[in-house]
Structure 1
């Protein structure tokens, strides 16, 4: 196997790995049962802030 073949294989595997990972993340984020958890996390930063960070 030549070096160019290994480089092509590594680049192709990396591309498909990142595409697959992106699809998995998007499915997880837009899954209907996760909506409440993400809404609660988005609102949590605005709740119970009555004093400075220190």
Structure 2
């Protein structure tokens, strides 16, 4: 039972502190200056090779319906 008590106190104090600092570090890293262009590029990456919307007569659309 002593191991459980020790692990519980560790999780309540140090692990909570570690997880909070990790979360704040990730938020700061995502919102850092200069990352806006990278996020825009990755958000639009799936549209990079598209010139127009898929038409109703497109072969890929018909094959997907099968």
TM-score, normalisation: structure 2: 0.59
For structure 2, the 5+ residue unaligned runs are 55-59, 61-66
Extract structure 1 runs of 4+ deviating beyond 4 A.
none
Structure showing greater radius of gyration is: 2
Cα RMSD over matched residues?
Answer: 2.2
Higher helix proportion: 1
Which residue number corresponds to residue 11 of structure 1? 12
1:36 equivalent to 2:37? Answer: yes
Cα distance between partner residues in 1 of 2:34 and 2:48: 23
For structure 1, the 5+ residue unaligned runs are none
**Equivalent residue runs for 1:35-54 within 5 Å:** 35-49=36-50
Aligned residues between the structures: 50
